[in-house]
Structure 1
Amino acid sequence: MGQDETSGGIWAAARSGAWLNPQRVRAYLWFLALANGLSLAWLLITARGGLDPQGRLLGTDFVSFWAAGQVVQAGGNPYDAVVHAAAQGVVWPNQTGYTAFYYPPLFLLWCWLLGLTGYFTALTGWLLATGSAFLLVVREWAWRINWLALAAFPPLSISLTHGQTSLLLAALLGGGFLCAVRGQVAMAGLLFGLAAFKPQFGLLVPVVLIAARQWRVIGWAGVTVVASMALSSLAFGPGIWSQWLDSASPAQAAMAGGAIGFGKMQSLFAGLRLIGVPVGAAYAAQGFLGFSVAALLARVAWQRGLTRDVAAAALTGALLATPFVLDYDFVLLAFPLIVLVQGAAMPWERTIAALAFAVPAFARPLGVLIGVPMAPVIVLALFLVLLRRAGHQTGPAR
Structure 2
Amino acid sequence: MRALLVTLGHLLASGRGRYGVLLAAAIGVAVWVVWLISLLARPGLLDLAGNVKGTDFLEFYAAGRIVAAHQTEHLYDLDVQARIEHEITAPERWSGFHAFITPPFFALPFVPLATLPYLAAFALWSGLGILFLLATLSLLGRQVGDAGRGRRAAALWALGFVPVFAAVSYGQNSLLSLFILAGVFALLRRERDGLAGVVLGCLLYKPQLVLVLALLLLLERRWRALLGLGAMGGVLAAVSLWMSVPAARSYARLARSFPTMLADPAFPTWKMHSLYSFFVLLLPRHLAVAAGLAAISALGVLLAVRTLQPPYRPDTLHRWFAVAIWGSVLVSPHVPVYDLSLLVLPALLLRGERRDEALWRGGVAAIWAMTIVSQPLAQWLRAALGPSLQLSVPVVAAAGYCLLADGVAPVAAGLVGNAGQATQPRGRRSVSDRIAGGT
TM range (shorter): 0.7 to 0.9
1:388 match: 405
Whether contact under 8 Å (1:312, 1:386) holds in the other structure is no
1:135 match: 134
Counterparts of 1:38 and 1:219, CA distance in 2: 45
Counterparts of 2:8 and 2:312, CA distance in 1: 26
Post-superposition offset of 1:252: 4.2
Question: Once structures 1 and 2 are overlaid, which stretch shifts more, 299-308 or 315-324?
Answer: 299-308
Counterpart mapping for 1:169-318 below 5 A: 169-234=177-242, 236-277=243-284, 278-298=286-306, 301=309, 303-305=311-313, 307-318=317-328
Post-superposition offset of 1:300: 5.0
Counterparts of 1:52 and 1:326, CA distance in 2: 22
Whether contact under 8 Å (2:308, 2:323) holds in the other structure is no
Q: Any idea what the Cα deviations from partners look like across 1:244-288, whole Å, max 9, x if unmatched?
A: 012224444442214331222112222223233421111222222
Counterparts of 2:14 and 2:110, CA distance in 1: 44
2:368 match: 357
TM-score by length of 2: 0.80
Whether contact under 8 Å (1:316, 1:382) holds in the other structure is no
For structure 2, list consecutive stretches of 5 or more residues without a partner in the other structure. Answer: 382-387, 416-422, 424-428, 431-439
Percent identical among aligned pairs is: 24
**One-letter amino acid of the structure 1 residue matched with residue 349 of structure 2:** V
Cα RMSD (Å) = 2.6
Counterpart mapping for 1:142-161 below 5 A: 142=141, 143=146, 144-146=151-153, 147-161=155-169
Distance change >3 Å, CA 160–CA 18, structure 1 → 2 = same
Counterparts of 1:286 and 1:132, CA distance in 2: 35
Post-superposition offset of 1:53: 2.4
2:420 match: none
**One-letter amino acid of the structure 2 residue matched with residue 372 of structure 1:** L
**One-letter amino acid of the structure 2 residue matched with residue 161 of structure 1:** S
Whether contact under 8 Å (1:134, 1:171) holds in the other structure is yes
**One-letter amino acid of the structure 1 residue matched with residue 109 of structure 2:** W
Whether contact under 8 Å (1:262, 1:367) holds in the other structure is no
The answer to whether 1:87 aligns with 2:79 is no
Question: Once structures 1 and 2 are overlaid, which stretch shifts more, 112-121 or 85-94?
Answer: 112-121
Whether contact under 8 Å (1:64, 1:99) holds in the other structure is yes
For structure 1, list consecutive stretches of 5 or more residues without a partner in the other structure. Answer: 1-9
Counterparts of 1:265 and 1:36, CA distance in 2: 20
Counterparts of 1:320 and 1:343, CA distance in 2: 23
1:162 match: 170
User: Which of 371, 376, 379 is residue 393 of structure 2 equivalent to?
Assistant: 376
Counterparts of 2:260 and 2:39, CA distance in 1: 35
**One-letter amino acid of the structure 2 residue matched with residue 92 of structure 1:** T
Q: Which has the higher contact order (CA 8 A, sep 6+)?
A: 2
Counterparts of 2:205 and 2:31, CA distance in 1: 29
The answer to whether 1:19 aligns with 2:11 is yes
What SS does the corresponding residue of 1:54 show, helix, strand or coil? coil
Distance change >3 Å, CA 294–CA 90, structure 1 → 2 = same
Post-superposition offset of 1:386: 4.8
1:34 match: 29
